[in-house]
Structure 1
Amino acid sequence: MTSNEPNKMRAALKRGESKTDAAKVRGKAPYVWDGKNEDERPMSREEMQAGIEAYRRQRGRPAGSDKESTTIRFDRDVLAAFRAGGPGWQTRMNAALRDWLKTHSPV
């Protein structure tokens, strides 16, 4: 069923159709790899588990980061200027502050 109109959905349900049409899904034969195209080869259970574990290891903050989380207030126009550059604005702001420190005393 592909319609989202309530009346059509009700009529389909009265005819015995469902949103997922589970009978049609159950009736399909399982996929069998013909061995010709390596890109179509299904993953083994071990390959799938290794992929899941690799994904879990890479989630979150990078290990060994020397950055510290803090709360700081900036003028709206300054933030707007950095954010206008798109993703990576915090990294660019950090680089600008680092460059400023090369020629100025932080105190």
Structure 2
Amino acid sequence: MQPVWVDPDDAPELTDAFFERADEYIGDRLIHRGRDRSESQQVAVTVLFDAEVVRAFQTTGKDWQARMNAALKDWLKTHSPA
């Protein structure tokens, strides 16, 4: 069973890091935190890739879709999609 916190002198210090992660409200509306909006517009699509291609990007860890997008953008610099 977790101990109940009752001593206000025992409260954690409110640091800048705490406030950077804290929820922010405007009135009753919660302002969601997250990534800054991208300057380029993104479109959700359904596409089929070879399993080996997807696995290769997935093994690079979190945000593998962003790296796949960057690889395709890089490819477009030297190739025509036609």
> Same fold by TM (over 0.5)?
yes
2:81 is aligned to 106
1:93 is aligned to 68
2:18 is aligned to none
In the superposition, relative to structure 1, how do residues 105 and 68 fare at CA in structure 2: closer, same or farther (>3 Å)? same
Give the number of the structure whose alpha-carbon radius of gyration is greater: 1
**1:73 CA drift (Å):** 0.4
Provide Cα deviations, 1:6-63, integer angstroms capped at 9, x if missing partner. Answer: xxxxxxxxxxxxxxxxxxx9xx8x83424x97717xxxxxxxxx83527932257855
Q: Secondary structure at the match of 1:92?
A: helix
Amino acid at match of 2:63: G
Amino acid at match of 1:106: P
TM-score normalised according to structure 1 size = 0.49
Unpaired runs of at least 5, structure 1: 3-24, 41-49
Could you list the structure 1 runs, at least 4 aligned residues long, displaced by more than 3 angstroms after superposition: 59-65
Unpaired runs of at least 5, structure 2: 15-21
2:48 is aligned to 73
Report the structure, 1 or 2, having the larger strand content: 2
Provide Cα deviations, 1:61-98, integer angstroms capped at 9, x if missing partner. Answer: 85566111010000001001111111111000000000
2:13 is aligned to 39
Percent identical: 39
Matched, 1:53 2:53: no
In 2, the alpha carbon distance for the partners of 1:69 and 1:92 equals 16
